Amino acid sequence: MSEGAAKKEEKPRKFQAIRGTRDLLPPETALWNRVEQTAHTVFGTFGFGEIRVPIFESTDLFARSIGAETDVVSKEMYTFGGFAEFSAKVREGRMEGMLSEMPPEEMISLRPEATASVCRAYIEHNMQQLPQPVKLYYMGPMFRRERPQKGRYRQFYQIGAEMLGGTDAPAIDAEVIETVMTFFDRLELQGVQLDINSIGDRNCRPKYVELLRAELLKVKDKLGPDSQRRIETNPLRVLDSKLESEQGIIAALPRIADHLCEECAAHYAAVKHQLEMRGVIYRENWRLVRGLDYYMRTTFEITAQGLGSQNAVCGGGRYDGLVELLGGPPTKGIGFAIGEDRLILSLQESGKAPAPQGRDVYIAWMGEKAHATAIRAAKDLRAAGFSVELPPIEQKFGKALGQADKLNARYALILGDNEVSEGLWTLKTLADGSQQKLTEPDLLQFLREQKPVSS
C-alpha cells in the first residue's frame, strides 16, 4: 500500500477536552449565570466594584506573592517562556534554576489565583490614591495542574473579593466574611459551615512555627512521608493532614491561639465579636491554616454539603504586606476566593439546579404567507421577553407539535394559510392539549399576561 493510501484510511482524530478541563453546557450554564448574577448583586450591595484582570501574568508575580516553594508555584503552574530553552526547562520541571536565570518579564504563567493580579493592578493604577479601602471583586477561570477528581479541576473558576488599603480594623475582616456568607445565603447554599482562625503575624508566627517544628520532630517516626517532609518545608501544613493515623498526634500539638502576640490575640478576639454583632455563625478551628504563604492573622474557610472530600467552597484571609512585597506602599489587605465549580456542585446536589430550559412558544407554520406572519409574530414575542422557537423549514403540523413537545414548549402557535387569511390564530397549550382561537392582538395580549417560562 502506498503511503498516500494508508493516510486516507486513517480515521480523523477525535478531539476531547484536555484532562482536568471540561465543557459547561446548558442547562447547567443557566445555574452558573444565576450564581454570577447573584454575586454581582450581593457584592454590589457591599460596595465592591468588579475588576477584570488578565488570564496570564509574569511568572515572577505569582512566584513572589504565593511563594516559589509552594506546590501551586513549583508544580502546578502552566508556564510559558519567551525562549524555547526556558520553555523546555519548565517542561522538565527545572523551575528553580530557571527563575533566577530568566529575565522575569520573559516568562508568563496562566494565573493560578487572582489575588496577586488584583494587588498588581492596585499598585499599577495608583489605587492607594482612591478612598480606602478599595473594594474589588472578580470572577473567572484559574489554572492549576492538580490531580483531577470530583470538585478538583485544572481549569476551575473562582469568584473572589479583596479589600485593599485603609485600616486592619477587625470590622473589615468581619464585613468581608459577612459578604461571602450573605452571598451563600442568597443562593440558599445548604450545610454552610464557616471555620475561622488566626495564624498570627510576622511577630508571633515564626516562633510558633519553630515550636511546632520542634514538637513534630519528637514524633517524626509516627508521621507519614508527606508530614515528615513538611516538618522541614512548612510545618503548619501538617495541621491540614487528613491521615487517620496522624489525627491523635496532631490533636496533642501546641495551638497557635495560645502563642499569639498581644496585638494578634486582641485582633482575633475583636473579629469574633464583630462577627457576632453581624449574626454570622462561626466555628473556631485552630488547625485551619492556608496553603498560600502570604496570609496572616484572620484566616477562614467555608465548607458546604454534598462535596465529599473536596468540600471547601471558599478560602480567605488577611494578607497585609502582600502589596508591599510586590513593590507597592505598605497596604492592608483581606479577601477570599470561592470555588465556583464546587459551589455549583453543592447547589446541584441539594436540588437547586434549574430545570432544563424550555421554550415559551413554538411556532408551527405551514405555507409562504404563514411563514411571513410567523417571522413577524416571533419578533413581537421575543421583544416581549418570550423564548420562541421558529422552525427554519416548513413541516407538517403533527411533526411540528411533536418537536414542540420535545423542546418542552409551553405553547404552540399554529399558523396555516387559513389562520392567516381568517386573521384568527390557534394557540395550543401543550400541557393539557387545549386550544383557543384568537386574533393577533388578543393572542399577543394573552401571552403577555403570562410570565415567560424562560425568564
Q: Which residues bind ligand AMP (CB under 6 A)?
A: 113, 144, 146, 151-153, 156, 158, 291, 312-315, 337, 339, 341-342
Task: Please say which residue, 300 or 425, places its beta carbon nearer to ligand AMP.
Answer: 300
CB of residue 68 to ligand AMP, shortest distance in Å: 16
CA distance 241 to 401: 58
Task: Please say which residue, 175 or 293, places its beta carbon nearer to ligand AMP.
Answer: 293
| φ, ψ of residue 365 in degrees (nearest 5) | -125, 150
Task: Please say which residue, 123 or 312, places its beta carbon nearer to ligand AMP.
Answer: 312
CB of residue 185 to ligand AMP, shortest distance in Å: 18
* Amino acid code (one letter) for 148: P
Q: Is 399 exposed, middle or buried (0-12, 13-18, 19+ CB in 10 A)?
A: exposed
CB of residue 192 to ligand AMP, shortest distance in Å: 13
Task: Please say which residue, 140 or 291, places its beta carbon nearer to ligand AMP.
Answer: 291
**In this structure, are strands 134-143 and 49-50 parallel, antiparallel, or unpaired?**
parallel
CB of residue 137 to ligand AMP, shortest distance in Å: 14
Of all residues in this chain, which one has the CB nearest to ligand AMP in the complex? 339
Alpha helices in 198-261 (DSSP H): 205-218, 225-233, 247-251
CB of residue 266 to ligand AMP, shortest distance in Å: 26
Task: Please say which residue, 295 or 386, places its beta carbon nearer to ligand AMP.
Answer: 295
CB of residue 33 to ligand AMP, shortest distance in Å: 19
Tell me the torsion sign for CA atoms 420, 423, 428, 433.
negative
Task: Please say which residue, 151 or 235, places its beta carbon nearer to ligand AMP.
Answer: 151
CB of residue 76 to ligand AMP, shortest distance in Å: 8
Strand partners for 139: 159
Whether the bond between 133 and the residue before it is cis, its omega within 30 degrees of 0, is yes
Strand partners for 157: 141
Contact between residue 179 and residue 341 where contact means Cβ atoms under 8 Å apart: no
Task: Please say which residue, 158 or 373, places its beta carbon nearer to ligand AMP.
Answer: 158
Contact between residue 327 and residue 116 where contact means Cβ atoms under 8 Å apart: no
Task: Please say which residue, 315 or 328, places its beta carbon nearer to ligand AMP.
Answer: 315
Task: Please say which residue, 81 or 339, places its beta carbon nearer to ligand AMP.
Answer: 339
Tell me the torsion sign for CA atoms 96, 97, 98, 99.
positive
For 28-183, strand residue ranges (E) read 49-50, 56-58, 79-81, 107-110, 134-143, 155-164
Alpha helices in 302-388 (DSSP H): 322-325, 340-349, 368-383
CB of residue 365 to ligand AMP, shortest distance in Å: 47
CB of residue 308 to ligand AMP, shortest distance in Å: 13
CB of residue 145 to ligand AMP, shortest distance in Å: 9
Task: Please say which residue, 320 or 341, places its beta carbon nearer to ligand AMP.
Answer: 341
Alpha helices in 234-261 (DSSP H): 247-251
For the chain, how many residues are written?
A: 455
Name the nearest CA neighbour of 81 among 73, 90, 72.
Answer: 90
The 10 Å Cβ neighbour count of residue 71 is 19
| Residue whose cell numbers read 489575588 | 115
